[in-house]
Amino acid sequence: MTYKILFLDIDGTILKSDHTYSDATKQAISSVKKQGVEIFLATGRPLHEISELAEDLDIHSFIAYNGAFAIHQDKTIVDEPMPQRNIENFLDIAAKNGNELVMYTRNKNYFTTLNKPLISEFTDVFNLTQNELFTPEVANKILGATVINATPEQASLYEIASNLRLSPVHVNGAEDTYDILRTTVNKGHSVEQILHLLDIPREQAIAFGDGMNDREMLEAVEEGFAMGNSPEELFNFAKHKTATVAENGIFYGLKQLGLL
């Protein structure tokens, strides 16, 4: 099989818990790129926080904000802000339940507070630098949101519409944290639009991920790999299980397909 496109999650897939990646991972990505495979970073992170990694890996196409924004070689493919009424409801729920929110625009990360230790811990875990206090003026520009310091019961309160679901963030140091996902706006939906735009059949597409926010993406391609450090549930949605991020799971998955 000739493969034409590869989608890579970042945290827990490329990056280990210490924010580094192995030489084997970098070499694997470089090798398939030289073979003409188009590579996308596909992440829940905001686009403005991954530029350094993208430059290091020489990757120029992205799915960010869990699928709410996608760009291919400087051309915007997907741009789907959350409805402002949803953001207002999320803020109200957070205030009533002692949760905090981080909301992501194209250029900044907006927090409901910046002066709590748990916020400092969160920004350290994800190495976030473009942080500001939320103001209502940006409520119509939010591409993604994350609930911090929530119990599973509290997380379910944010599912205020049938197209919303909460996904636990599967990263060490980010316990009790949930991404707010939309069933109609996610990594998988963006993958489908990209494949259509580039006229690439799903049979020639590969994806690697480690979290439940990768579920739709792994289902949207023929060769979906769940990292060995994934939650058990994710293996139900992936065709393959590979090694952990610490054990160079991307390298071994690509080798399994004969690309290395």
* Tokens coding 143: 């591409």
Mapped to the 3 state alphabet, what secondary structure does 110-172 carry? EECCCCCHHHHHHHHHCCCCCEEECCHHHHHHCCEEEEECCCHHHHHCCCCCCCEEEEECCCC
Q: According to the model, what pLDDT value does residue 74 have?
A: 87
Return the ∠ at Cα 209 (arms to 219 and 211), rounded to 5°: 95
Percent of the chain with pLDDT over 90: 92
- Enclosing H/E stretch for 40: strand 38-42
pLDDT tens-digit series, residues 199-214: 999 999 999 999 999 9
Estimate the crossing angle of helix 249-256 against helix 23-34, to 10 degrees.
40
d(CA 28, CA 23): 8
What are the C-alpha distances in Å from 28 to residues 18, 229, 247, 249, 259?
A: 20, 19, 13, 10, 9
pLDDT tens-digit series, residues 108-121: 999 999 999 999 99
Mean pLDDT of the chain: 95
Q: According to the model, what pLDDT value does residue 182 have?
A: 92
pLDDT tens-digit series, residues 219-249: 999 999 999 999 999 999 999 999 999 999 9
Question: What is the widest separation between alpha-carbon atoms in the chain?
Answer: 53
pLDDT at 179 over 90: yes
Q: Give domain limits for the chain.
A: 5-80+185-256, 84-182
What are the C-alpha distances in Å from 68 to residues 143, 151, 162, 180, 236?
A: 6, 25, 17, 11, 24
* Beta strand 61-64 pairing with 69-72: antiparallel
Give the residue among 60, 81, 78, 82 at the shortest CA–CA distance from 69.
78
Q: According to the model, what pLDDT value does residue 170 have?
A: 79
pLDDT at 175 over 90: no
pLDDT at 11 over 90: yes
Residue with tokens 């890996």: 57
The answer to whether 38 touches 4, Cβ cutoff 8 Å, is yes
If one looks up domain 5-80+185-256 in CATH, what number appears?
Answer: 3.40.50.1000
pTM of the model: 0.90
pLDDT at 163 over 90: yes
Give residue 140's pLDDT band: very low, low, confident or very high (50, 70, 90).
very high
The answer to whether 179 touches 166, Cβ cutoff 8 Å, is yes
Class of domain 84-182: alpha beta
Phi, psi of 127 (to 5 degrees): 55, 45
pLDDT tens-digit series, residues 247-257: 999 999 999 99
Strand partners, 37: none
The answer to whether 95 touches 73, Cβ cutoff 8 Å, is no
pLDDT tens-digit series, residues 78-107: 999 999 999 999 999 999 999 999 999 999
d(CA 28, CA 14): 11
Percent of the chain with pLDDT over 70: 100
